[in-house]
């Protein structure tokens, strides 16, 4: 039943399409480069560069992430001549923090086809997966497995059994197991720091050793979803450390909550966190938790078996005869959980047996399965052979067999985590999408309205018409959709759908341009019949919101800053009972915690200026505004840009480079109001156009912007 409702998931920002498309041959130069990827993107670490044949950059240097569709990025271009140009892009996924990159060429004007063919080939989303990413992921999984598996092993397996055998020195072994767990915590912290530095290095292009002194580190921590989750992990780890070195009663309850929360934060950076449903994320949490309990418990069982070598054989056998069944109970539950969640997760990320054997992700999953199978076989030997014999055959040989088998299992378990760390760096086969389907009955028609993918941005709209008998209606003269936002004061948009001849009427476009509630009115017109009208209410959100993307607003930075302040307080609590001596407490306790709290406080106070706000035209483009804007345009701009904005004014035809063709630049979606206002105020870079900030008032500049927005191709 779980597989029936399985929905595909994706991660990594992989290339979907671009405008112009790769290897395009254009008659006239474009005014911008647009790229659509599979995942919402972090604006701070995403960029597009456009280079000419000599390697000079010809874009305006500012890459924008579309606020209504965070999978869409674009960059403006300067005036281009004939030639071949190369687009190089790099993107940082909001979902899992992976960096992807690619290149593709296009040409303008009369260009030799061989020149274009010999230029760089399109690269649709290369994943920057390196040992610098794989190893920290593996070590962080290993560290969390040691801590989680060890906590349950000590509480459920070791302590209830060891109390019966004082000769086994249970207190000494508990101390040894705690040392192992603290090593796991240290491993997790070190791997997390290395992972953070790798992400900053990949996103900024700087050397791994230089990112500590770069502003990109602060941007990653306080301006991205990955950074917030990283800070939360640090707070949770400090809570776990605190529970180990203090005897406060409430920490015994806080530790399991903190450990489970750590697994949740790891899952929120996984492939399945791209899904809009909670079930895939919950499945991944259970999968990681089960693997941690099993493999971490195996490591602790191996440590216990090796530490009992000097105990008398009969005591050792009796002790192990009680330990093995208790651990087998954990193993049975966790293996069953791993099997169920693993199959479900694979159905989301791979999707088919063919993809399992033909894709890099599928092949990596096969490698992981190839390591798991021997572990399961050894576990079966423990369960079906050694465990029964320990109860009836008290001899040293069985203990030796058990030690060898468990040690081998533990080593292979570590290899399983390494395979999982590698799998997390490879993009899954299937791409996440959802389909919104609505249905209504009107007149003598059944109207089925579907929207794919159902998010803000470009969607495909499909209206299927059928009569009361279920037969498709193919003779509609016209099918219209009227889109009206109910949560924003903007105008209605009408669009006509294309008849496919089989009862389906198709339309594609970015008509759902804002998150919130929309009304879609379907109008069906047929000869000699009354027009049929039906309304559908839609709740539309951005893909970034569905994937748990962090909003680029001051509140997000403040939340991250608050997390850092809490971390400073927890650090002070941890060190309070550990460090002796006033000087040491000041140097290693109060100064670090004070620094954390101070940085967090500073970011909290200054967060309003960390992330630039979106500049929006405050003046509605009514007739009065357009009339005033036209007067300002004719007085200040017409001599260069011409009456229709074509750049053919009496002065403009004498300039080199010539003025911009406003009809190309004013098409909705090419440039934001804020960018155009910046050019009107300060002038256009690398051109003879000067700024009008000192000549025209701000209010009149907004009127001017409203008017030139009307200068678009018919």
Q: How confident is the model at residue 674 (pLDDT cuts 50, 70, 90)?
A: confident
Tell me the per-residue pLDDT of 115-149, one tens digit each, with 9 for 90 and over: 555 554 444 444 445 677 788 888 999 999 999 99
Contact 658, 602 (CB under 8 A): no
Question: Sign of the C-alpha dihedral, residues 134, 135, 136, 137?
Answer: positive
546, 574, 595: which is the final residue of a domain? 546
> Highest mean pLDDT: which of 11-25, 177-191, 242-256, 358-372?
177-191
Average pLDDT, the chain: 78
Helix, coil or strand: residue 62: strand
98, 127, 156: which is the final residue of a domain? 127
Is the pLDDT reported for residue 178 higher than 80?
yes
Tell me the per-residue pLDDT of 295-309, one tens digit each, with 9 for 90 and over: 999 999 899 888 877
Does 170 share its domain with 40?
A: no
Does 247 share its domain with 118?
A: no
Q: Could you list the residue range(s) of the whole structural domain that residue 56 is in?
A: 15-127
Number of domains in the chain: 5
- Pick the closest to residue 224 from 259, 199, 195, 254 (CA basis): 199
Helix, coil or strand: residue 688: coil
Q: Give the β-pairing of 516-525 and 59-65.
A: unpaired
Domain of residue 702, CATH code: 1.10.760.10
Measuring CA to CA, how many Å separate 261 from each of 154, 181, 229, 235, 287?
20, 17, 11, 11, 14
Does 289 share its domain with 167?
A: yes
**Residue 30: inside a domain:** yes
Does 367 share its domain with 455?
A: no
Domain of residue 442, CATH code: 2.60.40.1930
Does 239 share its domain with 388?
A: yes
Is the pLDDT reported for residue 390 higher than 60?
yes
**Residue 3: inside a domain:** no
CA distance linking residue 469 with residue 220, whole number of Å: 58
Is the pLDDT reported for residue 552 higher than 50?
no
12-26, 222-236, 381-395: lowest mean pLDDT where?
381-395
Q: Give the β-pairing of 72-77 and 59-65.
A: antiparallel
**Residue 428: inside a domain:** no
Helix, coil or strand: residue 260: helix
Instruction: Output the six-digit token pair for 355.
Output: 């993809």
Given this model, what pLDDT does residue 236 score? 87
**Residue 677: inside a domain:** yes
Does 67 share its domain with 195?
A: no
Does 98 share its domain with 243?
A: no
Does 457 share its domain with 507?
A: yes
Does 593 share its domain with 680?
A: no
Domain of residue 42, CATH code: 2.60.40.1220
72, 94, 127: which is the final residue of a domain? 127
CA distance linking residue 678 with residue 207, whole number of Å: 34
**Residue 713: inside a domain:** no
Does 25 share its domain with 67?
A: yes
**Residue 332: inside a domain:** yes
Does 98 share its domain with 120?
A: yes
Does 487 share its domain with 570?
A: no
**Residue 442: inside a domain:** yes
**Residue 356: inside a domain:** yes
């Amino acid at each position: 039943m779980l597989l029936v409702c399985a929905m595909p998931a994706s991660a990594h920002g992989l290339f979907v399409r671009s405008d112009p498309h790769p290897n395009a041959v254009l008659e006239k130069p474009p005014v911008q480069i647009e790229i659509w990827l599979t995942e919402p993107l972090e604006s701070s670490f995403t960029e597009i560069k456009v280079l000419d044949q000599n390697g000079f950059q010809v874009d305006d240097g500012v890459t924008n992430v579309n606020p209504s569709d965070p999978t869409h990025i674009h960059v403006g271009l300067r005036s281009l001549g004939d030639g071949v140009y190369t687009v190089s892009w790099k993107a940082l996924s909001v979902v899992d923090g992976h960096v992807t990159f690619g290149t593709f060429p296009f040409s303008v004007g009369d260009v030799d086809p061989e020149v274009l063919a010999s230029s760089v080939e399109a690269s649709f989303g290369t994943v920057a997966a390196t040992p610098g990413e794989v190893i920290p992921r593996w070590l962080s999984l290993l560290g969390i497995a040691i801590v989680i598996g060890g906590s349950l092993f000590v509480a459920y397996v070791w302590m209830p059994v060891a109390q019966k055998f004082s000769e086994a020195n249970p207190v000494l072994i508990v101390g040894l197991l705690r040392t192992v767990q603290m090593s796991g915590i240290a491993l997790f912290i070190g791997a997390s720091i290395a992972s953070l530095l790798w992400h900053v290095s990949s996103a900024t292009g700087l050397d791994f050793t230089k990112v500590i002194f770069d502003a990109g580190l602060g941007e990653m921590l306080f301006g991205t979803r990955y950074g917030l989750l990283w800070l939360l992990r640090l707070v949770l780890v400090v809570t776990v450390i605190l529970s180990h070195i203090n005897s406060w009663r409430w920490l015994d309850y806080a530790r399991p909550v903190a450990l489970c929360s750590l697994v949740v934060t790891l899952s929120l950076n996984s492939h399945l966190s791209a899904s809009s449903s909670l079930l895939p994320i919950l499945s991944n949490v259970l999968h990681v938790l089960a693997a941690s309990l099993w493999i971490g418990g195996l490591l602790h069982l191996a440590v216990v078996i090796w530490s009992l070598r000097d105990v008398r054989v009969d005591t050792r056998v009796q002790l192990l005869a009680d330990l093995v069944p208790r651990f087998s109970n954990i193993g049975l539950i966790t293996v069953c959980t791993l099997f169920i969640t693993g199959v479900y997760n694979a159905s989301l990320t791979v999707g088919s047996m063919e993809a399992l054997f033909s894709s890099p992700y599928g092949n990596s999953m096969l490698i992981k399965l190839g390591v798991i199978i021997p572990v399961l076989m050894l576990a079966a030997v423990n369960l079906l052979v050694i465990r029964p014999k320990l109860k009836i055959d008290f001899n040293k040989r069985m203990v030796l067999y058990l030690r060898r088998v468990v040690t081998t299992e533990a080593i292979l378990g570590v290899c399983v985590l390494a395979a999982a760390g590698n799998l997390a760096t490879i993009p899954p086969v299937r791409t996440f999408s959802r389909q919104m389907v609505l249905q209504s009955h009107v007149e003598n028609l059944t109207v089925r309205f579907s929207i794919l993918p159902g998010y803000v941005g470009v969607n495909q709209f499909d209206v299927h018409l059928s009569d009361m008998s279920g037969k498709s209606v193919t003779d509609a003269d016209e099918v219209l959709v009227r889109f009206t936002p109910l949560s924003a004061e903007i105008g209605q948009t009408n669009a006509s759908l294309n008849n496919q001849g089989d009862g389906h009427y198709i339309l594609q476009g970015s008509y759902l341009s804002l998150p919130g509630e929309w009304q879609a009115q379907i109008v069906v017109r047929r000869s000699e019949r009354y027009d049929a009208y039906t309304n559908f209410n839609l709740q539309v959100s951005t893909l970034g919101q569905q994937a748990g993307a962090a909003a680029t607003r001051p509140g997000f930075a403040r939340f991250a800053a608050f997390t850092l302040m809490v971390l400073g307080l927890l650090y002070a609590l941890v060190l309070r009972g550990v460090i002796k001596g006033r000087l040491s407490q000041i140097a290693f306790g109060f100064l670090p915690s004070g620094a954390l709290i101070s940085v967090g406080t500073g970011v909290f106070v200054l967060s309003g200026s960390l992330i630039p706000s979106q500049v929006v035209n405050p003046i509605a483009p009514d007739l009065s505004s357009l009339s005033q804007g036209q007067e300002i345009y004719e007085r200040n701009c017409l001599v260069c840009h011409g009456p229709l904005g074509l750049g053919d004014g009496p002065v403009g035809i004498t300039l080199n480079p010539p003025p911009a063709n406003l009809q190309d630049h004013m098409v909705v979606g090419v440039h934001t109001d804020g960018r155009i206002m910046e050019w009107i105020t300060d002038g256009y870079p690398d051109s003879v156009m000067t700024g009008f900030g000192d000549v025209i008032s701000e209010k009149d500049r907004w009127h001017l912007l409203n008017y030139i927005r009307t200068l678009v191709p018919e």
